[in-house]
Amino acid sequence: MTGTDSTGAGTDLRRDVLTTLLPGFEGLDAPDWVLELLRDGLGGVCIFGPNIESPEQLRALNASLRAANPLAVIAIDEEGGDVTRLFYDRGAPFPGNAVLGRIDDVELTARVARAVGEALAATGCTVTFAPDVDVNANPDNPVIGIRSFGADPELVARHSAAWTTALQQTGVAASAKHFPGHGDTATDSHLALPVVDVPLATLRERELVPFRAAIAAGSRTIMTSHILIPELDPENPATLSPQILNSLLRGELGFDGVIVTDALDMKGASGVHGIPEAAVRALAAGCDLLCIGTDNSAEEMAEIVAAVENAIATGRLPEARVRESAARVRALAEDSVPVPAGPALPASIEPRHDTEEIGRVIGSFEVTDAARERLARSTRVGTVVRVDAVANIAVGVAPWGPFAAEDVSESPSWLGGAETVAVSAHRGLVDPAALQGTVLVVGKDLHRHEFARAAIDALRAVRDDVVTIDMGWPSNDRAYADVSTFGASRLLGEAVIEFVDDVLRAAVATS
């Protein structure tokens, strides 16, 4: 069905199939195969961190994409926190969802979302896969955690609505994710298929509450999750489930925008079927725009198009279903802001934060009295134990926490004056007693990593000057979190540096 008949219907159908696809690619410039497919009708591309060198380069890249197809969707995974693409080389200058939820000021949340949208619009991006509206019901969640506004559905709902509304006022489309809720999982869907085995009543009272709010706020797109919910569909993950997408999302929740898949190269979607078959099943289930992956190829795209066309030809996939999706994607693209012309970029790409803003972030930290007392005993930090766990794929290798802040700082801090010792699953502490004090242990989700717990236990067994700073989502008992920041963006790193400086300065003043 890839040829052209007397009516051109074959070519038109291929164009519609291409319109539903959103691949990624390697490099700072669009490969020829991407530009060729865009000219043939490819729906758009997804931009990732390695595709970005600078805002100016990204804007030029996006201009080349839109020149090839003026209706190209240019999507990016910019959540304004630990998950960042625009600031992948230096960490995001935003607090992230969990901190915004803890501060619980919807006007602040709206300001952050608006700043994210303005930065993306200035570079020519048209859709961001945010906000994350999952309710983080499980503190051991390996993939959501601080990407969530919190564990209270109503709190998550009001901040999801505020973020969605403010972002879309900049002309960038939102994508509330990961439907119908990835917050109560203990498995990373990048690596396997998580199962959320909860009653429907729990799903409606918890997971669906923020999605209802985002839809009411006008979210242009909703992103699906690769999770299995037996109470809704015991066989198919949400991305491949007609019951979840048609009956629940389209029917019960009334969403009429674009349903976009999470990346189909994730094991939760394609681990059993492979990407081409997963694409067919996702379209048949009701998805409109298929996020394929991070570094796709012309050959892979040809296989996907062939699989979809074959499914249409054999009656497995209704042609009308594909045309419906293509029409929705084009309608989304038609409302996109144009790529700005000229070399100048607004200062909003890199917002600056005053002392009051940093103070609000510090005020959201949970700090034990024991942590303050241990820090106050000394006028300096002797050792920083940096806990390097394997980052989940959504976060990637973006710089994080005080280490990101130190890299871009123009003035020295306690971090620069302390010895830094890295520990990981492959490298433990040699002699905890020999470290220069005071010892700060800095990591993310410390309780989830056996090697991190072992290092902290070893330190605590021989020292009384250890302070643990957890920049992820801590366990409920806070056993390994003397200080909990609920995020590790660069802004959070700046706040941690300032927090420790404040305590040390106070200790010097009273000594």
Task: Give me the residues paired with residue 470 across strands.
Answer: 443, 484
What is the pLDDT, as a whole number, of residue 3?
40
Structural domains of the chain, with CATH: 13-335 (3.20.20.300), 355-510 (3.40.50)
What is the pLDDT, as a whole number, of residue 7?
44
Dump pLDDT digits (tens) for 59-114.
999 999 999 999 999 999 999 999 999 999 999 999 999 999 999 999 999 999 99
What is the pLDDT, as a whole number, of residue 6?
42
Which residues in the chain land under pLDDT 70? 1-10, 186-192, 266-272, 346-348, 410-412, 511
Q: Are 399 and 494 in contact (CB under 8 A)?
A: no
What is the pLDDT, as a whole number, of residue 111?
96
Work out the widest C-alpha separation in the chain, in whole angstroms: 90
Distance CA 36, CA 438 (A): 58
Q: Are 307 and 20 in contact (CB under 8 A)?
A: no
Tell me the residue ranges of DSSP E strands in 328-369: 366-367
Residue (of 449, 457, 450, 441) closest to 391 by Cα position:
449
What is the pLDDT, as a whole number, of residue 5?
44
Sheet of strand 221-224: strand arrangement = 175-179, 221-224, 258-260
**Token pair for 395:** 């976060």
Residue (of 130, 105, 102, 132) closest to 116 by Cα position:
130
pTM of the complete model = 0.93
**Residue among 132, 134, 233, 262 flagged as catalytic:** 262
Q: Are 222 and 200 in contact (CB under 8 A)?
A: no
What is the pLDDT, as a whole number, of residue 471?
98
Phi, psi (rounded to 5 degrees) for 317: -130, 115
What is the pLDDT, as a whole number, of residue 190?
61
**Residue among 159, 182, 190, 449 flagged as catalytic:** 190
Dump pLDDT digits (tens) for 249-259.
999 999 999 99
What is the pLDDT, as a whole number, of residue 193?
74
* Residue 352, burial from CB neighbour count under 10 angstroms (0-12, 13-18, 19+): exposed
Tell me the residue ranges of DSSP E strands in 207-310: 221-224, 258-260, 290-291
Dump pLDDT digits (tens) for 151-160.
999 999 999 9
In the residue annotation, 190 being an active-site residue is answered as yes
